[in-house]
Structure 1
Amino acid sequence: MSDVKILAISGSLRAASHNTWLLRAAQKFAPGGMDIEIYEGLREIPPYDLDQDNANDRPAAVAELRRRITEADGLLIATPEFNYSIPGVLKNAIDWVSTDWSRTEGLPLLHKPAAIMGAAPTNFGSVRAQLALRQVFVWTHTDVVVRPELIAFRSHERFDDAGNLTDEDTIGLLRDLLAALAEKIDGK
């Protein structure tokens, strides 16, 4: 595998988010040649506004996210589950990067290889959130890794107090998911 650049996005704004911890674990367990950069600007993305959704009027935080997704070889998204779906802040960010009303800028998510994972303290983890995100990505024509699925249910049992992923089964699934993402990128 040649060097690939992955932009990782946590759908959680919490400081001690298990989903952000999953992304940090991805950095640690990434295969050689894969550089994973965690996006820290989700909190700065304003509510979607069609009146501002053009190259001249987009908020700076949105323009930056669009640029970073465009430049990345792939995406890695870790999402919690809120009300059987993805968090509003994550959906909002996707709304901002899924458009090109001028038909001149390009669509950052179009055919972009992406992997989805999630962590939650419940027994079902982020199953429904991941399904909801997959449905969104059908519309954006994002090239999502189908297998393996990484659903870190009872996530509080999978990390130590410092936020390190300690569960060997989850580590194995994470490695497999990253390998599948690398394969999808190489096949692009």
Structure 2
Amino acid sequence: MAVRILTLVGSLRSGSHNRRLAEAAVQIAPEHVELGVFDGLGSVPFYNEDIDHEGTVPAEAVKLREAAAEADALLLVSPEYNGTIPAVLKNAIDWLSRPYGAGALSGKPVAVVGTAFGQYGGVWAQDEARKAAKIAGAEVAEELTLSIPGSVVRFAELHPVDDPEVTEKLAGVIEGLAAKATAAV
């Protein structure tokens, strides 16, 4: 049985380097891993407890929760916006954290990777994503990291899947996350 990993991308721009990094993850995933990217984070409304009641949860949030519940693990791909996590990714974590103690992230292995223009590759945002996911109940794989600096230059004409250093490190994150998901079962 394949390990299912759901990928959430913190950038909504179709050609973003982080979107392309997620595409690379899908392409290099080993046979025993079903890795898919959730499309639609931009349609999920901001979390609001007033609309988070059975029968009133927006359809987009229901789809996100169902996709996360069906996954064995999650891979969060985060750019860095003004030194922190993008709102769309934080919003997804907020929706997945509820109901408190029983949200779709509860007990699930989660790894965070990403790329950014700066010299540190978005580590601040990735640290914030790990922190938020952990508080939301996820089993964050702190040791499974990949921060790629200089994205604008590095990926100007090169897709991440064509960068051997990136694919090697990304493959290690995917394998490690799949192993954690298998061990958690």
Give TM-score scaled by structure 2 length.
0.93
Q: Does 1:88 align with 2:87?
A: yes
Contact 1:5 1:34 survives alignment (8 Å): yes
Quote the RMSD (CA, aligned, Å): 1.6
Percentage of matched positions with identical amino acids = 35
What is the aligned residue count? 184
C-alpha distance after superposition, 1:127-185 (max 9, x if no partner)? 00011111112211201222232001112344363734332221111011011101101
Structure 2, unpaired ranges of 5+: none
Q: What's 1:46 paired with?
A: 45
* 1:16 counterpart SS class: coil
Cα distance in 1 for residues equivalent to 2:107 and 2:154: 32
Structure 1, unpaired ranges of 5+: none
Contact 1:86 1:133 survives alignment (8 Å): yes
What amino acid is aligned across from residue 30 of structure 1 in structure 2? A
Cα distance in 1 for residues equivalent to 2:104 and 2:54: 13
Q: How does 1:58-73 map to 2 (within 5 A)?
A: 58-73=57-72
Contact 2:5 2:71 survives alignment (8 Å): yes
Contact 1:160 1:166 survives alignment (8 Å): no
Q: What's 2:171 paired with?
A: 175
Q: How does 1:39-188 map to 2 (within 5 A)?
A: 39-100=38-99, 106-159=102-155, 161=157, 163-188=159-184
Alpha-carbon offset, residue 121 of structure 1 = 1.6
Cα distance in 1 for residues equivalent to 2:160 and 2:168: 14
* 2:54 counterpart SS class: coil
C-alpha distance after superposition, 1:7-37 (max 9, x if no partner)? 1111001111111101111011112210111
What amino acid is aligned across from residue 151 of structure 1 in structure 2? S
What amino acid is aligned across from residue 131 of structure 1 in structure 2? D
